[in-house]
Structures are given as structure tokens and as C-alpha cells.
Amino acid sequence: MKRKSLLGVALVALGFSTQAGTAVAAAPGVTTGPARNVGQLGASLRGTVDPNRVATTYFFQYGTTRAYGATTPEAAAGAGDARRNVAGGAGNLAPATLYHYRLVARNADGTTRGSDRTFRTQRQPLGVSLAANPNPIPFGGGTALGGTLTGTGNAGRQVVLQDNPFPYSRGFANLGNPQVTDGTGKFSFALLSVPITTQFRVLMPERPAIVSPIVTAGVAARVSTRVSRTRIRRGSRVRFSGTIRPARPGAQIAFQKRRDGRWVTIGGTIARRAGTSFSRYSRLQKINRGGTFRVFAGLVDGNYVSGTGRTLQITTRRR
């Protein structure tokens, strides 16, 4: 009896039942494996799980410290009696960051946590956006050029604004003082005046050097608009008049009406020189029905872009 009891203890210690042919249930075996396909924002976490003949599930814990904080969805590892490869995807990661992770498996007999391992996400290449607001720029006015430097190491980078005025033959040259990107990579340059249509770009001279896409900021003709009357009988004539700055004698002037969401030209004239800095236009235009109107000045010389005057309402009544 003593020898039988000792044998029973030994079998239990080795994971077997004292009942012939029946395996003793046990917590799963777990090994945390290496991370694969590590990118800027995600990674595939790997490992092995031995269910020990009990229905088992598993998941990965991950985070920037051993406290983890995030988990992959729980998945089934089956109820086999051998190790099987398992995987889980870690997402919403930050570039160039060290992460800790481990594999955890559990069944009815317990939970097993694998050893802690680490991986570092890839650096995100620097990129830059640039936009001008407003664009086009009213003649005589200014604009703000701003954007965002994205990628790893985007904060505290020096940014230089460069310009290249029409006809773009001079080449780009530095404009004003450099700026430094803020903690999120944003930057802005305020320009009080842009004389003619100009190309802009920003340059990050520090390595790795980055150059933004080119932004063309058009300078639009400034159009003033007056009408002789705003309440008329149908079929009457209204005088449209005003000025164009800068002076552009010969510029095509179109009188336009808003119809079905678009501007339709109903008449026009040609601007005439009135001084060194502006041109004038004036013409009677027949109005059959009231609505919303504007004046459009078409410019095609490259120094400036076309401009429009203010919108105005003209109402009509029956004769």
C-alpha cells in the first residue's frame, strides 16, 4: 500500500491522474514570441500556447511600460495537448516608440502569463503641408502661409519660407526670418502684402532636409461695383460702373447673374484707363428679371488673376 501511494503521488506530480488513462487538467503553457511586421503604427505579436487538453483562450497585453494598458481581442487556442502558434495585432501605436508586450492564456484551471518582451516602432518619415489663406489674395492685401510638419521629430524644427514671383524665372529665395515648428509641428508666416501672383514653398534646412509642395498664391484684381438703381421695371436698363485695381485697360468686364447655382454672363464691356493705379468701366445693362448680380474682371497676364466685385440684389416689378 505504501508503494502504491508513493506511485500515486509521483503520477500526480507529473501531471497524470491516478485513474488509468485520464490526463490531469492544468493551466495552459505560454511562450511570448518575437514581434513581426513592426511598422510605424502597428505590429504583429506572436507566441505559442499549449492548452493542456482544456479549452483555452489567449490575448496579448501591450503598452509603453510593463503596466501595458492595451490588449488584443481574446481568441480561442483550442483544447489540444501540444503547443500551437498564435498571433495578435497591436494597433494605434506611436512611431519611434518602445513597447512592452506579453502573451496571456487562460482556461478553467488557471491563467498563465508569458515573459515580457519589447519592440520599437519605426520612425515616421517627415512630410510637410502648406497652404495660403486667403488665396486668391485681394490686390493690395496680404495672406498667411501655414502648415504642419508631420513625422518623427517634427517639433522644434526650423522652417524657412521662400518665394518666387511671376514669371517664376528668378528662382526661390528666402523671405523674412525663419520660424520654428511648435510641439505639434505647426508653423505660420504672416505676409502683409503680396504685390503680384507668387509661388511659395517652405524649406527645413536641418537634416533630414525637407521641402514642401509649391503653393501658388494668386493676387486678384480688386473690383468695385455700383449700380444706378436696385428696384426697376422689367426690361429696364441699369448702369453698372466701378473701378479695377491695379490699372488694367482692356480687361474684359462681364456682368453676371446667379442662375441655378452658377454664374451666367448676361452682358459686359471693356475696362478703360482712368489713372496710373486703376481702370474704370461703365455700361447700361438691360435687366429682364431681378436676382443676384456681380461684376467679373477677367485678367490673363499672369501677374494677377481674375477678380469679382460684391454681389448685389436687383428687384423687378411688372410694368
Topology at the third CATH level for domain 12-120: Immunoglobulin-like (2.60.40)
Mean pLDDT, residues 134-161 = 94
Give the Å distances, CA to CA, from 7 to 14, 19, 89: 11, 12, 46
Kindly report the three-state secondary structure assignment for every residue of the chain: CHHHHHHHHHHHHCCECCCCCCECCCCCEEEECCCECCCCCCEEEEEEEECCCCCEEEEEEEECCCCCCEECCCEEEECCCCCEEEEEEECCCCCCCEEEEEEEEEECCEEEECCCEEEECCCCCCEECCEEECCCEECCCCEEEEEEEECCCCCCCEEEEEEEECCCCCCCEECCCCEECCCCCEEEEEECCCCCCEEEEEEECCCCCEECCCEEECEECEECCEECCCEEECCEEEEEEEEEECCCCCCEEEEEEEECCEEEEEEEEECEECCCCCEEEEEEEEECCCEEEEEEEECCCCCCECEECCCEEEEEECC
More confident residue, 167 or 124: 167
Mean pLDDT in the chain?
Answer: 90
pLDDT at 112: 97
pLDDT band at 76 (very low <50, low <70, confident <90, very high): very high
Domain 222-317 has CATH 2.60.40.730: yes
- pLDDT in the model for residue 19: 41
Q: How far apart are CA 151 and CA 155, in angstroms?
A: 9
pLDDT (average), residues 280-299: 96
Q: In this structure, what C-alpha cell is assigned to residue 285?
A: 445693362
* CATH 2.60.40.730 domain extents, the chain: 222-317
The answer on pLDDT for 157 being more than 70 is yes
Question: What's the mean pLDDT in 155-177?
Answer: 94
Domain with CATH 2.60.40.10 in the chain: 12-120, 127-216
- Is the model's pLDDT at 8 over the cut of 50? no
pTM of the predicted model over 0.85: no
Mean pLDDT of the region 191-197: 96
CATH fold of the domain at 127-216 = Immunoglobulin-like (2.60.40)
Residue 187 has pLDDT above 70, yes or no: yes
Q: Band of the pLDDT at 25, cuts 50, 70, 90? A: low
pLDDT at 10: 43
pLDDT of residue 199: 95
- At residue 32 the predicted structure's pLDDT band, cuts being 50, 70 and 90, is very high
pLDDT digits (tens, 9 = 90+) for 245-278: 999 999 999 999 999 999 999 999 999 988 899 9
| The pLDDT value given to residue 273 | 87
